[in-house]
C-alpha cells in the first residue's frame, strides 16, 4: 500500500495541474446546530466558496441532518451529499465517535440515524458495508466534553474504518498520532478543515478519479495526498475573531441556536451575544462585542483550549504505544 504523504500548498498545485482532484470532506453549514446562522454560511454561498477555493468535489457534513441538500440543486457540479453522524456504543467502544458518510440517500440516512440511536456500532458499520457507502472515522483523538474516552478501544476502532481523518482543528501532535495509526493499520487518510466558519479548503485531500467513488477508493488504497494545517494558538485566535465578525453582522437567519466553538469561555460570551434580549439594546450589544474581541485577542481563551487539547497526549501515547517525536 502506498501510504499517504503531506504536500505543501505549492506542490499540491503542481499535482492539480496534472489531473489530481481536491476535496475538503468535512464542512459544516448553518444547518448544523453549532454554526452561526448568517448568510455567508448558507449552503449555496459555501458551495461557491468551495469552488472558488479550488475544490473539485464539494460536500457538507452537518451534524445529523441532510437539510442542506433540500435547498441545493443535485446537479451542481461536484456536489456530494454528506452527513456527520455520532454514535455512542457503550459495549464495544465506551465513548462517542463521529462518522462522516457520503453519497447517501434520505432513506439510507434515516436508517443510519436509527442505528446510531440504538448505539450499536457494528450494526451501523454493517449497514454501511451492505449499502457500499463511503465513510470516514472523524478526528479519532477528539472526545465529547465531559466524556472519559476508552483509549484502549481506538486501535480496534481504526481497524473497522477504511479511512481516518487528519483534522485541522486538532493540535499537530494529535494529527501526527493519527498519521501513525493510518500507517500502522494500512488505512486511508484524509485532511479536512471541519470548518464551522466558512474556512473551506485550508486543509484538503488530493486523489484521482473520474467520479467521487473512484476518488474515495483511491484514498482507501493510500493513493492520495493531503494538504494540512494544524491548530495553533495564532490560528485559533484568528478563527475566534472570524466567529465574532460573523456575530457582528446583521444578516442573522436563525437565532437562539446553541452555538458551540468548543471553547467554553467563548461559548458563554457568544450565547450572551446572540440572545435576542441583548440585541434589543444596540449600545450594550456593541460594548459586549468589543469586550469579547478584547478577551479573544488576549490569547487566553486560545491558550486554555490548546492546553486542554494537549492534556491527554502522554496518556494517548502510552496507551496506543506510539512515539513519533
SS3 letters for 53-86? CCCCEEEECCECCCHHHHCCCCCCCCEEEEEEEE
Average pLDDT over residues 116-132: 98
Task: Kindly report which listed range (149-158, 238-247, 257-266) carries the lowest average pLDDT score.
Answer: 257-266
**Percentage of the residues of the chain whose pLDDT score is greater than 90:** 69
Average pLDDT over residues 215-230: 96
User: In the prediction, which pLDDT does 308 show?
Assistant: 83
User: In the prediction, which pLDDT does 290 show?
Assistant: 87
Contact 249, 196 (CB under 8 A): no
User: In the prediction, which pLDDT does 247 show?
Assistant: 75
State yes or no: pLDDT of 287 exceeds 90: no
Residue 325: pLDDT band with limits 50, 70, 90? low
Residue 3: pLDDT band with limits 50, 70, 90? low
In angstroms, the CA 158 to CA 149 distance is 15
In angstroms, the CA 242 to CA 297 distance is 12
pTM here is 0.92
State yes or no: pLDDT of 217 exceeds 80: yes
CA 88, 311, 25, 153 dihedral sign is: negative
Average pLDDT over residues 230-246: 86
- Domain chopping of the chain, boundaries: 5-227, 233-308
Residue 179: pLDDT band with limits 50, 70, 90? very high
In angstroms, the CA 282 to CA 19 distance is 52
Average pLDDT over residues 88-106: 97
State yes or no: pLDDT of 263 exceeds 70: no
Phi, psi of 95 (to 5 degrees): -150, 170
Average pLDDT over residues 246-266: 62
Instruction: Write the CB contacts of 94 (distance below 8 Å, at least 6 apart in sequence).
Output: 149, 150, 153
253 vs 107, higher pLDDT:
107
HSE at residue 230, side-chain half, CA atoms within 13 A, is 14
**Percentage of the residues of the chain whose pLDDT score is greater than 70:** 89
State yes or no: pLDDT of 277 exceeds 80: no
Instruction: Write the CB contacts of 145 (distance below 8 Å, at least 6 apart in sequence).
Output: 262, 264
Question: Any bridge partners for residue 22, and if so which?
Answer: 206
293 vs 205, higher pLDDT:
205
State yes or no: pLDDT of 262 exceeds 90: no
What mean pLDDT, rounded, does the chain reach? 90
Contact 197, 242 (CB under 8 A): yes
In CATH, the number for domain 5-227 is: 3.20.20.140
Amino acid at each position: 500500500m502506498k501510504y499517504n504523504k503531506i504536500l505543501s500548498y505549492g506542490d499540491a498545485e503542481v499535482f492539480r495541474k496534472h489531473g489530481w482532484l481536491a476535496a475538503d470532506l468535512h464542512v459544516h453549514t448553518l444547518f448544523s446546530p453549532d454554526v452561526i446562522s448568517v448568510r455567508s454560511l448558507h449552503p449555496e454561498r459555501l458551495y461557491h466558496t468551495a469552488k472558488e477555493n479550488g475544490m473539485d468535489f464539494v460536500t457538507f457534513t452537518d451534524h445529523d441532518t441532510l437539510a442542506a441538500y433540500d435547498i441545493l440543486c443535485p446537479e451542481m457540479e461536484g456536489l456530494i451529499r454528506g452527513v456527520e453522524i455520532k454514535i455512542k456504543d457503550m459495549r464495544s467502544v465506551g465513548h462517542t465517535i463521529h462518522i462522516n458518510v457520503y453519497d447517501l440517500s434520505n432513506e439510507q440516512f434515516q436508517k443510519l440515524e436509527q442505528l446510531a440511536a440504538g448505539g450499536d456500532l457494528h450494526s451501523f458499520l454493517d449497514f454501511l458495508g451492505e449499502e457500499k457507502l463511503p465513510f470516514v472515522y472523524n478526528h479519532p483523538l477528539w472526545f465529547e466534553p465531559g466524556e472519559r474516552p476508552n483509549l484502549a478501544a481506538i486501535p480496534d476502532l481504526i481497524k473497522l474504518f477504511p479511512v481516518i481523518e487528519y483534522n485541522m482543528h486538532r493540535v499537530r501532535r494529535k494529527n501526527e498520532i493519527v498519521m501513525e495509526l493510518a500507517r500502522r493499520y494500512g488505512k486511508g487518510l484524509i485532511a479536512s478543515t471541519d470548518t464551522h466558519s466558512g474556512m473551506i479548503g485550508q486543509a484538503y485531500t488530493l486523489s484521482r478519479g473520474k467520479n467521487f467513488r473512484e476518488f474515495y477508493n483511491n484514498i482507501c488504497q493510500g493513493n492520495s495526498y493531503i494538504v494540512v494545517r494544524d491548530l495553533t494558538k495564532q490560528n485559533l485566535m484568528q478563527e475566534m475573531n472570524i466567529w465574532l465578525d460573523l456575530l457582528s453582522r446583521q444578516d442573522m437567519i436563525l437565532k437562539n441556536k446553541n452555538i458551540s466553538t468548543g471553547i467554553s469561555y467563548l461559548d458563554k460570551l457568544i450565547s450572551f451575544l446572540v440572545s435576542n434580549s441583548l440585541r434589543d439594546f444596540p449600545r450594550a450589544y456593541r460594548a459586549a462585542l468589543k469586550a469579547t474581541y478584547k478577551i479573544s485577542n488576549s490569547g487566553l481563551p486560545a491558550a486554555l483550549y490548546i492546553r486542554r487539547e494537549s492534556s491527554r497526549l502522554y496518556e494517548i501515547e502510552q496507551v496506543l504505544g506510539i512515539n513519533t517525536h
